[in-house]
């Protein structure tokens, strides 16, 4: 064992000595270690966006179902979202990202559950979808979406109080007014 350790120490010594003897190699090494740090940061962001991609897929399915006035499909997608919360992997999140996730988790889960349990009552599903949209927006702002999203506003919903939602399309497909007014709304913000 002792022999093994000293032979590793010895080869390390030779490796270091070799690098020191060659300035160009040393500079290359520094440059590449800097880019490794940058890459690491990017990968962290990617992973966080990867963690929420399941939730996002289900959210967009609910949104598309509501824009088609399809309460059953909305309920099914919301049930999938409830399950996605159950198996959500927090390991990839930074402390700050985990904080934002923990802040919205219970609330978002509750709204997804109500959408899942209320097929046949699409107005009620839409009330919950409005608050769910705010939660998912906060999540995407902190973690990134890993895809292009459009934060869109409908000024007419809820007696002109208005409401927002996230869409994967720039073209407006209104989940609050559905087929009665499918294109009502304007894009407020583009997210990635």
Where along the sequence are the contacts to Cu ion (CB under 5 A)?
114
Of 82 and 184, the one with the shorter C-beta distance to Cu ion is 82
Distance (Å, whole) CA 186 – CA 100? 27
Token digits of residue 150: 């459009």
Of 44 and 80, the one with the shorter C-beta distance to Cu ion is 80
Of 63 and 126, the one with the shorter C-beta distance to Cu ion is 126
Of 63 and 114, the one with the shorter C-beta distance to Cu ion is 114
**What is the smallest separation between the CB atom of 102 and Cu ion, expressed in angstroms?**
23
The residue whose Cβ lies closest to Cu ion is 114
Handedness of CA 152, 155, 158, 161 (dihedral sign): positive
- Residue 104: count of CB within 10 angstroms of its CB: 18
**What is the smallest separation between the CB atom of 133 and Cu ion, expressed in angstroms?**
15
**What is the smallest separation between the CB atom of 39 and Cu ion, expressed in angstroms?**
44
**What is the smallest separation between the CB atom of 63 and Cu ion, expressed in angstroms?**
17
Q: Rounded to 5 degrees, what are φ and ψ at 187?
A: -75, 125
**What is the smallest separation between the CB atom of 54 and Cu ion, expressed in angstroms?**
23
Rg (CA), the chain: 24
Distance (Å, whole) CA 85 – CA 154? 27
Strands 186-191 and 149-154: antiparallel
Of 144 and 175, the one with the shorter C-beta distance to Cu ion is 175
Check if the beta carbon of residue 111 is closer than 8 Å to that of residue 79: no
């Amino acid at each position: 064992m002792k022999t093994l350790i000293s032979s590793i120490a010895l080869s390390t010594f030779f490796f270091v000595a070799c690098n020191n003897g060659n300035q160009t190699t040393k500079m290359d090494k520094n440059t590449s270690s800097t880019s490794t740090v940058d890459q690491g940061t990017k990968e962290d962001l990617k992973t966080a966006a990867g963690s929420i991609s399941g939730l996002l897929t289900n959210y967009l399915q609910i949104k598309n179902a509501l824009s088609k006035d399809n309460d059953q499909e909305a309920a099914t997608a919301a049930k999938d979202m409830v399950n996605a919360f159950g198996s959500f992997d927090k390991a990839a999140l930074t402390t700050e990202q985990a904080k934002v996730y923990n802040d919205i988790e219970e609330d978002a889960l509750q709204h997804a559950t109500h959408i899942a349990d209320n097929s046949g009552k699409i107005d009620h599903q839409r009330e919950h979808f409005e608050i769910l949209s705010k939660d998912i927006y906060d999540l995407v702002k902190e973690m990134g979406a890993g895809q292009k999203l459009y934060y869109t506003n409908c000024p007419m919903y809820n007696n002109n109080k208005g409401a927002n939602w996230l869409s994967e399309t720039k073209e407006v497909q209104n989940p609050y007014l559905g087929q009665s007014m499918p294109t009502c709304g304007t894009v407020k913000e583009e997210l990635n």
